[in-house]
Chains A and B, each alone.
Chain A
Amino acid sequence: MRLLLVEDDHKAADLLVDRLRGDGDDVAHAENGEIGLAQAKQSEFDVLIVDRMMPEMDGLTMVHQLRQQGADTPVLFLTALDSVEDRVAGFEAGGDDYLVKPFAYEELRARLEALVRRKQPSQETTLKLADLTMDVIARRVTRGAQDIALQAREFSLLEYLLRHKGQVVTRSMLLENVWHYNFDTQTNVIDVHISRLRNKLDKEFDAPLLHTLRGRGFVLQSADKLGDL
């Protein structure tokens, strides 16, 4: 991935850039909104990581101007502001995702992957992975020749996983995108729903598709392709 990190905190930026480069990404760093805007216009990036509070030009203004100039590069806001209103302001300015500091690196990684892949059209109505097929319109799920009966929310959960197949999705991504809540819970509520879905999806089949990656999240993928993650 080609990434641009716009962040005024040098030490935090260095750490993050190191980590991203370590994962093989091509990372540029800008230390305020103005420089970030100039760089974003100059060269092509897959995704922008923008801090919200910066001197000179803040992140909101930068992304707002970028969007006005017609750029549709996905933007992930990094922020110390976590209220609903701050979130809404971030999305209204043209942000695509929102991550509150401090964050786990894996959370950022998963969200970046999701943003970059989302650029590709995802309007398909038939989703497939190995022998698993979901007909979004008929609301029908089959594995091999067998129908799998899902409740409404299980269906949404599986749809989200299928649209992000092969990507790590985190608990908070699921809570935000499937249940539409954006606060953390104290209990393992997402794990319970994943394990119920897994029971219906994988239990009677030899090759499991829904995997838990410890400390990272969940992934829907054929077992033989898990090695890449």
Chain B
Amino acid sequence: MRRLLRVSSFRAVLVYLGLFLGSTGIVLLFLHGQINQALTTNNDKTVWRDAAMMNQSYALGGLSEVEELVAQQSQLSGVGVYLLADGLGRYIAGNVPAFPAPSDTQMQEDGWLHLRLQTPFAEARARLVRFDDNLVLLIGRDLSAQQATMDDLARSFLIALLLLAVFGVIGGGLMGRQALARVENINHSLRAIMSGDFSTRIAPTSSQDELADLAAQINEMLARIETLMLAMREVTDNLAHDLRSPLTRLRGRLEKLSLSAQKTAQAEDIEQGLEDIDQLLGLFTAVLNLSRMEAGTGDMQRELIGVKPLVDDVMELYQAVFEEAGWTIDYAVDSAAAEAHILGDRHLLAQALINLLENALIHGVGSASHLTVSLTCRNQQIIISVTDTGGGVAEDQLAHIRQRFVRLDESRSRPGNGLGLSLVDAICRRHGGHLHLSNHRPSGLRCEMCLRARE
């Protein structure tokens, strides 16, 4: 529901519904007043006709005639209210026994009286007709029927408003959900694209609305990005070729020289030259791989990989190296992680983990070197954690060491090119995760590859 409330179309429906219900309410209120008014006018006309008839009968037959007519009318079961009285207000005929007390009588602006009466009547709207000084007729109509009608009407109006509100919210919810589903469709595609699958496109829908337009625009944009990436891919491939070809020749020449220079003074220089070429090439390869990985143009397999076998394999390869170097090792896998899978590239992930292990081996040496590797899985997040017991990294440097070519002063003398952590970070990102670095107490660096598990 909270997600639905965030959908703009659902919110728009709610706002519109509020306005619609408000204005409908006002219209119904007006209608209610108008109907009430019409019924009153109608009543008044009847009373006037009645009064005219009484007047006529008085003119023709005097008191006895009127008295008889009043008595006759009073007998009719209906809504007519009659009281024929003498000059002192004493009852002569009619269905009301006496004039109501002044507190129960109210003079309206239009000259009509509003009366509160005893049973069987409730309230009445009446006029006073004076035949002569000694004869007065209170003539009117009981209002309870009209009021009951108006109450029924008001109730019907309210029910109608409520139904409108309910249908409106349901309809809005359905529309919002549909919009949400379509936006979710776009989001799903975008997530795949952001993790590097640039061939993904947003699936077209049958409708021709603004969301379909948006999807089409995004697809067009993706096509252009893909073209640019392919172009960049071609550039880096060509660069690789153009740089590697002369290096290959150079290496070949040096090797040839080293054959004839064996055991001479130049042999060592040549050997050094070969090492330099290999180092240069290593750096070049690392930069190229990193750029491709960060730009998302690097190749990446997408297969379902068991995380534990992957880490097991790497640990099996490196355990011996750490042991030979005098390290002690802890390697733990929690039960959730043992079954966890990742959608990604086995080689890249293994390479990332190997980078972390080699980092620990080179930079994490402490007085009693200890390596802790753990594999955990919580809330669909897999964490491969590598912790050493070396000197760690100053807190203010933690954010920097994953940047390209950043090498802390104290590690400049050790092997490496300052790209290892950058590459691990880029690989994690290509897998929809990230690399988290922290200092471990009492000393040491903890590197965590945080990755999304595949359900």
Give the B-binding residues of A (Cβ under 8 A). 9, 11-12, 15-16, 18-19, 22, 53, 80-86, 100-105, 153, 179, 181-189, 192-193, 195-196
Contact = CB atoms under 8 A, between A and B. Distances in A.
Contacts of B259: 22
Nearest to A178: B317
B177 interface: no
Contacts of A192: 320-321, 324
Contacts of A185: 354, 358
Nearest to A22: B259
A19 B345 contact: no
B358 A186 contact: yes
Nearest to B316: A153
Contact of A183 (B240, B277, B351, B361): B351
Given A19-B255, A101-B247, A81 B241 contact: yes
B276 interface: no
A101 B244 contact: yes
Given A15-B256, A83-B292, A101 B321 contact: no
Contacts of A53: 241
Given A81-B237, A181-B350, A11 B249 contact: yes
Contacts of A102: 244, 247-248, 250-252, 277, 281
Nearest to A52: B241
Contacts of A81: 237, 240-241
A192 to B, nearest CB: 5
B252 A9 contact: no
Contacts of A189: 317-318, 320-321
A186 B411 CA distance: 15
Contacts of A85: 299
A186 B250 contact: no
Contacts, number: 97
Given A15-B253, A183-B347, A185-B358, A103 B240 contact: no
B240 A186 contact: no
B344 to A, nearest CB: 12
Contact of B252 (A19, A83, A184): A19
Interface residues of B, number: 44
A182 B252 CA distance: 23
Given A84-B301, A102-B247, 11 more contacts: A12-B248, A53-B241, A82-B240, A101-B247, A105-B255, A179-B317, A181-B317, A182-B347, A186-B358, A189-B321, A193-B317
A84 B299 contact: yes
A101 B298 CA distance: 19
Interface string B288-325: 01001000001101000000000001001110110010
Contacts of A11: 249
Contact of A15 (B240, B249, B347): B249
12 contacts: A12-B249, A15-B253, A19-B252, A80-B245, A82-B285, A83-B292, A84-B301, A102-B281, A185-B354, A187-B361, A189-B317, A189-B318
A183 B247 CA distance: 19
Interface string B240-283: 11011101111111011001000000000000001001100110
B225 to A, nearest CB: 19
Nearest to B354: A185
Contacts of B25: none
Contacts of A103: 248, 251
B362 interface: yes
B263 to A, nearest CB: 14
Contact of B299 (A83, A184, A195, A196): A83
B415 interface: yes
Contacts of B278: 104
A192 B281 CA distance: 25
Nearest to A106: B255
A152 to B, nearest CB: 9
Which of B243, B252, B316 has the most A CB atoms < 10 Å from its CB? B252
Contacts of B285: 82
Given A15-B253, A181-B347, A185-B354, A101 B245 contact: yes
Interface in B206-257: 237, 240-241, 243-245, 247-253, 255-256
Contacts of A19: 252, 255-256
Contact of A18 (B243, B245, B256, B354): B256
B416 interface: yes
A119 B301 CA distance: 31
Nearest to B240: A80
Interface string B352-373: 0010001001100000000000
B390 to A, nearest CB: 16
A81 B253 CA distance: 22
Interface string B310-348: 000100111011001000000000000000000001010
A16 B252 contact: yes
Contacts of A84: 299, 301, 345, 347
Contacts of A15: 249, 252-253, 256
A153 B362 CA distance: 25
Minimum-distance CB pairs A-B, first 9:
A85-B299, A15-B252, A102-B248, A80-B244, A80-B241, A102-B251, A101-B244, A101-B248, A102-B247
A15 B256 CA distance: 8
B412 to A, nearest CB: 15
Counting chain B CB atoms within 10 Å of each CB, the highest count among A81, A86, A192 belongs to A192
A9 B245 contact: yes
A197 B8 CA distance: 67
Contacts of A181: 317, 347, 350-351, 354
A83 B301 CA distance: 11
A124 B362 CA distance: 42
A102 B275 CA distance: 12
Nearest to B414: A186
Contacts of B250: 102
A179 B218 CA distance: 42
Nearest to B358: A186
Nearest to A10: B249
